[in-house]
């Protein structure tokens, strides 16, 4: 086994690999960019080395720098994790040339399976079914348009060189094809350095089912069951589970054997995942092979009892697999959800400081985390904060356990997708196993969260009491409480455009009468320790997480977070968005990023929902569209420019009649 391993990654996967190394007695070496100098994986590693500025291109994607770190610290191996350099064949070759073990498959396997076109042809040669489509070398736009007509709509445009939803577009009609192709090629070139695409017939309402394989250098290849990853946003998985409700033992065996044939054909070593699409009739189709550890690997660990990272390290060190296919048994049920710093409705990334990060605990609950309270979430990397995994004897028990765990999750300072995950877990269709890839769209799960909801009274009570008790918070919490018993104090908070007024009066030791509108209650302060506030309301204990700022209070309860802005003692007018004045609309960048393409100019007449510009942030393209028909009065940025989040990029006058879109 190795003595020292460099981890060429960041975030939760770097932390996960550090944990596996420690359990095996291996010294873990972290690398970090300037933005990650104080990151959790850096703090946990045995050694850590700076590798460049915040940009991933100049840090985590610098193969030469990372190999040099391994040489300098006398590491025998480099574990790439997932993303970044994990599926770059040139990195695996650079490791081999330097005499350093790459914890992953051979470079040739990465290269072959990294091409969706080549891997699809290999699958066909192994009698593995594939989706009808086009994977030819002729990438001329006219040729692709002709092939699209042959395949028929709807279809998918997919980047040949990578996955993760980047370089992928759904095209429903021929009129959409040209613009979709251009966007997919541009995004693929940015993400993978290769703008080649393939076309595939879009299978209606399929399931996304993948098979985990593990192979050693001694000719042993096994499959470790499946993971269903059908629930996705922007073609990226957010919920994964095993086993799939759609697989019989016979179908599982056929898919597993197909995955093993693909792995053997490419001379595969180490952990890999063969992804399939499964239609309603039970027919499966090869999609691609991911030549690395998957984000969702804990799901397989939960039902097999294996540690896949430890197996990766052992296989990379030349050890044979310690079990055969007949020894692999699936027990119970596991579900994983990905906790992202992003808006649960728009699914746009959220950045800022994580003021509080408290994952849940309990039997059958596992947290793979990449951040801690006080860490920063920036614009340079994927917004994944953590993964929450539960295991239980049955699927329904696992769902119930996950529902409770999500309710106990507390994150403040950045917006998260926790409300979306809760909505999925409580949806009857999920409980019934109706989990196709269009789940979020079919059931409008995110849209249901858009309805403006009032801030719960219990959250307002917690905010008010944290303000009332604040002078004593850093000393004896009961020594100097406000003692004007019977007198009422008004505390005002602004959330969005709504102002809330809390009436508070002390009724006795640790007891308050609080009222918000028509809702009133006698509230007892049970405990306030660190940032955890426990209230007694109607003989029920209510737990809240509270972080106080200079002008606002953040409160987390039941997996939801709230930011309450303090206002003046006298009522003030509700604060509006300030975006539409006299018919003039200022369209703003939803996050920091780079302008990729400006599609209009000052004076352009536009129609509602017409694309105005394309920007890139966190490796994904985002299109800003016209909210209504009008005339563009100003364009403030050009292609290639960096734009801060919230900056006005286009001004649009809706009073001027627009009869046609601009050319």
- Can you read off the two tokens belonging to residue 656? 């001027």
Give the model's pLDDT for residue 423.
97
Q: Do the beta carbons of residue 424 and residue 351 sit within 8 Å?
A: no
Q: Do the beta carbons of residue 228 and residue 336 sit within 8 Å?
A: no
- Fold (CATH) for 132-201: Dna Ligase; domain 1 (3.30.1490)
234 is catalytic: no
Give the whole-angstrom CA distance, residue 404 versus residue 360.
9
Peptide bond into 243 cis (omega under 30): yes
Give the position of tokens 């455009």.
497
Give the whole-angstrom CA distance, residue 557 versus residue 477.
22
- Beta-carbon contacts of 388 under 8 Å, excluding residues fewer than 6 positions away, are 336, 337, 339, 359, 360, 365, 366, 367, 402, 405, 406, 409
258 three-state secondary structure:
helix
Q: Do the beta carbons of residue 472 and residue 480 sit within 8 Å?
A: yes
Looking from the CA of 255 toward its CB, the CA atoms found within 13 Å total 30
Give the whole-angstrom CA distance, residue 375 versus residue 414.
11
CATH architecture, domain defined by 208-448: 2-Layer Sandwich (3.30)
CA angle 112, 115, 119 (to 5 degrees): 65
- Can you read off the two tokens belonging to residue 116? 């969706």
- Beta-carbon contacts of 515 under 8 Å, excluding residues fewer than 6 positions away, are 502, 503, 521
Strands 155-159 and 197-201: antiparallel
Give the whole-angstrom CA distance, residue 549 versus residue 491.
15
Q: What phi-psi label fits residue 205: left (phi over 0), alpha (psi between -120 and 50 degrees) or beta?
A: left
- Fold (CATH) for 580-653: OB fold (Dihydrolipoamide Acetyltransferase, E2P) (2.40.50)
CATH architecture, domain defined by 4-103: 3-Layer(aba) Sandwich (3.40)
Give the position of tokens 């920091």.
592
Give the whole-angstrom CA distance, residue 506 versus residue 482.
8
Phi, psi of 177 (to 5 degrees): -65, -45
- Can you read off the two tokens belonging to residue 556? 């987390």
Nearest to 552 by CA among 478, 496, 474, 475: 496
Active-site hit among 62, 292, 338, 401: 292
Strands across the sheet containing 155-159: 133-134, 197-201, 155-159, 169-171
- Can you read off the two tokens belonging to residue 371? 């951040």
Which helix (DSSP H) or strand (DSSP E) does residue 426 occupy?
none
Give the whole-angstrom CA distance, residue 243 versus residue 249.
10
- Beta-carbon contacts of 322 under 8 Å, excluding residues fewer than 6 positions away, are 314
- Beta-carbon contacts of 384 under 8 Å, excluding residues fewer than 6 positions away, are 11, 12, 295, 338, 339, 340, 341, 370
72 three-state secondary structure:
helix
- Please tell me the class of the 457-566 domain: alpha beta
User: How much of the chain is in helix, strand and coil states, percent to nearest 5?
Assistant: 25, 35, 40
Give the position of tokens 């269009």.
438
Identify how many contiguous H helices and E strands the chain contains and give both numbers. Answer: 17, 40
- Beta-carbon contacts of 441 under 8 Å, excluding residues fewer than 6 positions away, are none
Fold match flag (4-103 vs 208-448): no
Give the model's pLDDT for residue 89.
97
- Can you read off the two tokens belonging to residue 355? 């003021």
Give the model's pLDDT for residue 661.
38
Residues composing the chain: 663
- Domain ranges (residues) in the chain: 4-103, 132-201, 208-448, 457-566, 580-653
Give the whole-angstrom CA distance, residue 542 versus residue 558.
10
DSSP string covering 446-497: HHHT-S--PPPHHHHHHHHHHHHHGGGTTS-TTTS----TT--EEEEEEETT
62 three-state secondary structure:
coil
Strands 101-102 and 77-79: parallel
| Per-block mean pLDDT, blocks of 10 residues, the chain (663 long) | 98 98 99 97 98 97 98 99 97 98 98 91 96 92 96 93 83 96 94 92 94 98 99 94 98 99 98 97 95 98 99 99 98 99 93 96 98 94 97 99 98 97 98 97 91 86 90 39 57 92 90 92 92 92 93 94 77 28 66 89 90 82 84 93 85 60 40
263 three-state secondary structure:
helix
Q: What are all long-range contacts of 181-187, with beta carbons under 8 Å and residues at least 24 apart? A: 181/141, 181/144, 181/145, 181/157, 183/614, 183/621, 184/157, 184/158, 184/159, 186/596, 186/621, 187/159, 187/616, 187/620, 187/621
Strands 47-52 and 27-33: parallel
Q: Do the beta carbons of residue 170 and residue 204 sit within 8 Å?
A: no
Give the model's pLDDT for residue 479.
35
Q: Is the pTM of this model over 0.85?
A: no
Helix axis angle for 107-114 and 116-125, nearest 10°, is 100
Chain centre distance of CA 289: 20
């Amino acid at each position: 086994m190795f003595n020292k391993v460099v981890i060429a990654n960041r975030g939760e996967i770097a932390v996960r690999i550090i944990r596996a190394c420690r359990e095996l007695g291996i010294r873990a070496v972290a690398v970090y960019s300037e933005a990650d100098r104080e990151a959790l994986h850096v703090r946990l590693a045995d050694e850590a080395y700076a590798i460049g500025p915040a940009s991933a291109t100049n840090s985590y994607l610098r193969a030469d720098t990372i190999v040099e770190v391994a040489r300098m610290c006398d590491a025998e191996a480099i574990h790439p994790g997932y993303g970044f350099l994990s599926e770059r064949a040139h990195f695996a070759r650079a490791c081999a040339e330097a005499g350093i073990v790459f914890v992953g498959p051979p470079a040739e396997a990465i290269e072959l399976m990294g091409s969706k076109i080549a891997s699809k042809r290999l699958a066909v040669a192994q009698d593995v079914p594939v989706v009808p489509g086009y994977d030819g070398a002729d990438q001329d736009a006219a040729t692709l348009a002709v092939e699209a007509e042959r395949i028929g709509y709807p279809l998918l445009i997919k980047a040949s060189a990578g996955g993760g939803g980047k370089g992928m577009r759904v095209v429903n009609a021929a009129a959409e094809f040209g613009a979709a192709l251009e966007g997919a090629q541009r995004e693929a070139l940015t993400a993978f350095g290769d703008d080649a695409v393939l076309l595939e017939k879009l299978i209606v309402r399929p399931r996304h089912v993948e098979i985990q394989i593990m192979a050693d250098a001694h000719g042993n290849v096994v499959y470790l069951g499946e993971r269903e990853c059908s629930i996705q946003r922007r073609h990226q998985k957010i919920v994964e589970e095993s086993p799939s409700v759609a697989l019989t033992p016979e179908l599982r065996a056929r898919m597993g054997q197909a995955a093993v044939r693909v792995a053997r054909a490419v001379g595969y070593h180490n952990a890999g995942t063969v992804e399939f699409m499964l239609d309603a009739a039970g027919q499966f189709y090869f999609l691609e092979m991911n030549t690395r550890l998957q984000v969702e690997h804990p799901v397989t660990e939960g039902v097999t009892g294996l540690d896949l990272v430890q197996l990766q390290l052992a296989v990379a060190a030349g050890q044979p697999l310690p079990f055969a296919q007949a020894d692999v048994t699936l027990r119970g049920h596991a579900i994983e959800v990905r906790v992202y710093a992003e808006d649960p409705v728009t699914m746009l990334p959220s950045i800022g400081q994580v003021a509080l990060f408290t994952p849940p605990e309990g039997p059958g609950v596992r947290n793979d985390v990449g951040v801690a309270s006080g860490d920063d979430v920036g614009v340079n990397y994927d917004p994944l904060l953590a993964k929450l995994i539960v295991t239980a004897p049955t699927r329904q028990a696992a769902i119930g356990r996950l529902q409770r765990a999500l309710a106990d999750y507390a994150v403040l300072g950045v917006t998260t997708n926790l409300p979306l995950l809760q909505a999925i877990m409580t949806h009857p269709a999920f409980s019934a196993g109706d989990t196709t890839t269009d789940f979020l769209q079919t059931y409008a799960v995110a849209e249901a969260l858009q309805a403006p909801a009032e801030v719960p009274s219990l959250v307002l009570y917690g905010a008010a009491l944290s303000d009332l008790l604040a002078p004593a918070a850093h000393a004896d919490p009961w020594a100097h409480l406000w003692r004007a018993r019977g007198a009422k104090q008004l505390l005002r908070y602004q959330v969005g455009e709504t102002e809330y007024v809390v009436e508070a009066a002390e009724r006795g030791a640790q007891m308050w009468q609080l009222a918000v509108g028509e809702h009133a209650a006698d509230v007892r302060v049970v405990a306030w320790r660190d940032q955890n506030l426990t209230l007694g309301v109607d003989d029920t204990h209510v737990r809240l997480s509270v972080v106080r700022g200079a002008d606002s209070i953040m409160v987390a309860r039941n997996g939801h977070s709230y930011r309450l802005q303090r206002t003046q003692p006298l009522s003030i007018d509700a604060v509006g968005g300030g975006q539409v004045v006299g018919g003039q609309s200022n369209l703003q960048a939803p996050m920091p990023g780079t302008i990729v393409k400006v599609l209009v100019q000052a004076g352009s007449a536009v129609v509602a929902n017409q694309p105005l510009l394309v920007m890139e942030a966190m490796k994904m393209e985002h299109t800003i569209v016209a909210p209504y028909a009008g005339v563009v009065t100003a364009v403030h940025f050009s292609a290639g420019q960096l734009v801060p989040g919230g900056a006005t990029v286009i001004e649009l006058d809706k009073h001027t009649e627009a009869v046609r879109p601009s050319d």
